[in-house]
Amino acid sequence: MIVEDKEGLRLDSYLSEELDISRSKVQKLIKDEKVLVNGKTVNSSYSVKINDFIEVNDELDYEIKVDPENIPLNIVYEDDDLLIINKESGMVVHPAPGHYTGTLVNALLYRYKDLAGDKFRPGIVHRLDKDTSGLMLVAKNEFTLEKLSLMISKKEVERKYLAIVDGVIQNDSGEIDAPIGRDKNNRQKMAVTDQNAKEAITHFKVLERFNNNTLIECILDTGRTHQIRVHMAYIGYPVCNDPLYGKGKDSFGQMLHSYSIKLNHPRTGKELKYTVDAQKEFNNKLEELRNNL
């Protein structure tokens, strides 16, 4: 299943990023009809969609095995259809080059044997960056996976974030409406750009101001890769400790926490709303900033 922030990418670009192989090699596989989307051959320029099922012929010169691992998880809510997990900073969500163990997916596979979705992202409908902590949804079956993916694309899942940013924001609130795409000079980064970009809208509200920092709440209209980090850096207030878009990181990483999630249950319609406190490192940073006023 395609996660929200990847929808609309060209098929060759999507597979190149996901499998960490060259785009030209992906294009050859597609041309040789070794890639199927929903059981059919397509062109390299095909735009991937959320519920697409992509099969790649196993003749690639790499092999990734995702093993179950007994890794502790902080489960905030669970029923037969879904999980809400409070992810710790430092945990990678799904396996990728350089991170084949210790991920959220490894932990999920240990606990649940029949999660829906592909073998690299079973149950994953959206993700948080490695060093971003907080609430995440996980689908436990095909029905929930498809429903949650659709709900996220229709903006029916409300996610709120806390962030400590560098600099003092003078406006009490604001909206950042700036398209985000892959940084042409560094494929590990995203950037505000008008080339191969998608709409991205972030709303922020100032909660506290300090000498050289600001605590803000962010709500996303869209869910692009690194969206808050890119947008805040774009307006001159990068997330504190951000190694890609800010001044660098200490041992904890960027001060960004998904603290609230609200949605109607995809099967029952019952409202689910949960909030979680940030990790001690985030709160220690806040205490330090308050003490220095």
CATH number of the domain that residue 100 is part of: 3.30.2350.10
Q: Which residue has the tokens 């398209």?
A: 179
The reply to whether 189 falls in a domain is yes
| Strand 173-177 relative to strand 158-166, pairing | unpaired
pLDDT-based confidence at 98, cuts 50/70/90?
A: low
CA angle at 137 for the pair 134 and 140, rounded to the nearest 5°:
145
The reply to whether 67 falls in a domain is no
The catalytic site residues sit at: 129
115 lies in the same domain as 233: yes
216 lies in the same domain as 96: yes
20 lies in the same domain as 99: no
**Using the 8-state DSSP alphabet, how is residue 235 labeled?**
T
The whole-number average pLDDT for the span 33-57 is 86
142 lies in the same domain as 271: yes
Query: Which of 21-25, 96-100, 270-274 is least confident?
Result: 96-100
205 lies in the same domain as 97: yes
Other Cβ atoms closer than 10 A to 242: 26
The reply to whether 68 falls in a domain is no
pLDDT at 25: 79
50 lies in the same domain as 90: no
Q: What percentage of the chain exceeds 90 in pLDDT?
A: 61
Q: Domain containing 27 — which CATH number?
A: 3.10.290.10
The reply to whether 181 falls in a domain is yes
The reply to whether 65 falls in a domain is no
pLDDT at 5: 65
Tokens at 168, concatenated: 């003092």
250 lies in the same domain as 282: yes
Three-state DSSP class for residue 75: strand
Domain extent at residue 81: 75-291
84 lies in the same domain as 116: yes
**Using the 8-state DSSP alphabet, how is residue 188 labeled?**
T
The reply to whether 61 falls in a domain is no
92 lies in the same domain as 137: yes
The whole-number average pLDDT for the span 96-100 is 68
Report field, pTM of the whole predicted structure over 0.85: no
Number of domains present in the structure of the chain? 2
The whole-number average pLDDT for the span 252-270 is 96
CA angle at 217 for the pair 211 and 222, rounded to the nearest 5°:
135
43 lies in the same domain as 101: no
Other Cβ atoms closer than 10 A to 1: 23
pLDDT at 62: 47
The reply to whether 162 falls in a domain is yes
194 lies in the same domain as 79: yes
222 lies in the same domain as 186: yes
CA angle at 276 for the pair 158 and 159, rounded to the nearest 5°:
15
